[in-house]
Structure 1
Amino acid sequence: MQACMTLLAAGRSSSVLDARFDDDRPLDATGWEEVVRRAPSLSHLAAAELRYCSPSARCRETGAALGLTPLAQPALLDWDMGRWRGATLAEVTVREPEAVRLWRADPRAAPHGGESLLTFIRRIGGWLDTRPVEPGGRAVAVAEPAIVRAALCYALKAPPHAYWHIATEPLATLTLTGGAGDWHLALY
């Protein structure tokens, strides 16, 4: 029997237009309402033996609101965006249009001074591969949407550019089965 890892995208901390790189804001009022409304449909996640979360405020709050009491994992920090941290994509595009173009086109590029897309996907994959989930065991991680997208790319061994074609809404779940280096997408 394979291990099962479910990643849950954190609740909302801002509107899409105000989404900021490496954002550590807590859940906003709408985010809290969505978590409370969706809690019954996510209650099965509490059966996981291992419960993790990204260290950000909204991930910790999402996990706590769902009664998961997750353990914060430094390896699940959001994508390191270097000097772009705290800015919106629109703001950075106005200031550094060529850097944004390079960042989107080359998965090895990190014009912001943080992690490249390839490095980020590998970091998240390394975290997945080192989880001590026993065969038949379950784990859950409340994570930033970027982490959920990176985990999917890693698990499917998709080219890094696939990252840009994955939409991750607040409270979306991704379930993977398998284990180190051999993860599979599970559709339920």
Structure 2
Amino acid sequence: MHARVTLIAAARSGSLLAERFDDDRPLDQAGWHEVRSAAPALLPLGVAELRYCSPTARSRATGDALGFCPLAQPALRDCDMGRWRGLTLAEVTAREPAAVDAWLSDPRSAPHGGESLLAFISRIGGWLDTRPVGDGARILAVAEPAVVRAALVHGLKAPPSTYWNVDMRPLSTVTLTGHGGRWNLRLDAPVPVRTP
């Protein structure tokens, strides 16, 4: 018995340089354009028996815009960044450079008072490993790019530091097949997205 879990990174809610930790902004104009452009390639994924999303505004909007009607899953929320919430990496680095270094180098570190990288990966992995399995069960989840990265690290049993080496572009997809504790990565064709 195995499941097929397809993860879709939510569309943009702002420029990458302006991204803020644990931010819950809705899709911006570019994000809506990307969803419309990618819809023909992503719509077939809606045949999944179970459709979920992160509880963030942009994940819900991405899933709804694609017609998936996903169920928000609290376990799929982004990493809790504690007192760094709402700040950019540049702002935090200027204020607390040693804390940022610790956070980037030690997956057990949580200098912001929130969730460590290891705890975040474990939480997302717990969600992944408890998905219902059936012969070929199809599951879809629209989530923040960080959540997709954490799921990949867990699914591949990669070292936590691998998280920093995974780049998830908006609306990219990845599929894991298997069941709790034993996942295989399936790379799908990229979704073409035209910029405005």
Question: Could you state the TM-score of these two structures normalised by the residue count of structure 2?
Answer: 0.94
Partner of 1:103: 103
Per-residue CA deviations over 1:90-114 (Å, capped at 9, x if unaligned) read: 0000010000000000000000001
Partner of 1:34: 34
Per-residue CA deviations over 1:19-72 (Å, capped at 9, x if unaligned) read: 110010000000000000100010111110000000000000000000000000
Partner of 1:149: 149
In 2: Cα distance, 1:143 partner to 1:134 partner: 23
Letter in structure 1 aligned against 2:162: A
Letter in structure 1 aligned against 2:133: V
1:1-188 alignment runs, 5 A limit: 2-188=2-188
Query: In the TM superposition, what is the alpha-carbon distance from 1:75 to its structure 2 partner?
Result: 0.4
Secondary structure, in 3 states, of the residue corresponding to 2:8?
strand
Compute the RMSD of aligned alpha carbons: 0.8
Q: Please tell me whether the aligned partners of residues 22 and 81 of structure 2 are also in contact (alpha carbons under 8 angstroms).
A: yes
Query: In the TM superposition, what is the alpha-carbon distance from 1:183 to its structure 2 partner?
Result: 0.8
Q: Please tell me whether the aligned partners of residues 3 and 132 of structure 2 are also in contact (alpha carbons under 8 angstroms).
A: no
* Unpaired segments ≥5 residues, structure 1: none
Secondary structure, in 3 states, of the residue corresponding to 1:184?
strand
In 2: Cα distance, 1:11 partner to 1:169 partner: 8
In 1: Cα distance, 2:59 partner to 2:187 partner: 23
Identity of aligned residues (%): 67
Per-residue CA deviations over 1:107-132 (Å, capped at 9, x if unaligned) read: 00000001101010000000001111
In 1: Cα distance, 2:91 partner to 2:54 partner: 25
Query: In the TM superposition, what is the alpha-carbon distance from 1:2 to its structure 2 partner?
Result: 2.7
* Unpaired segments ≥5 residues, structure 2: 189-196
Query: In the TM superposition, what is the alpha-carbon distance from 1:135 to its structure 2 partner?
Result: 2.2
In 2: Cα distance, 1:135 partner to 1:33 partner: 36
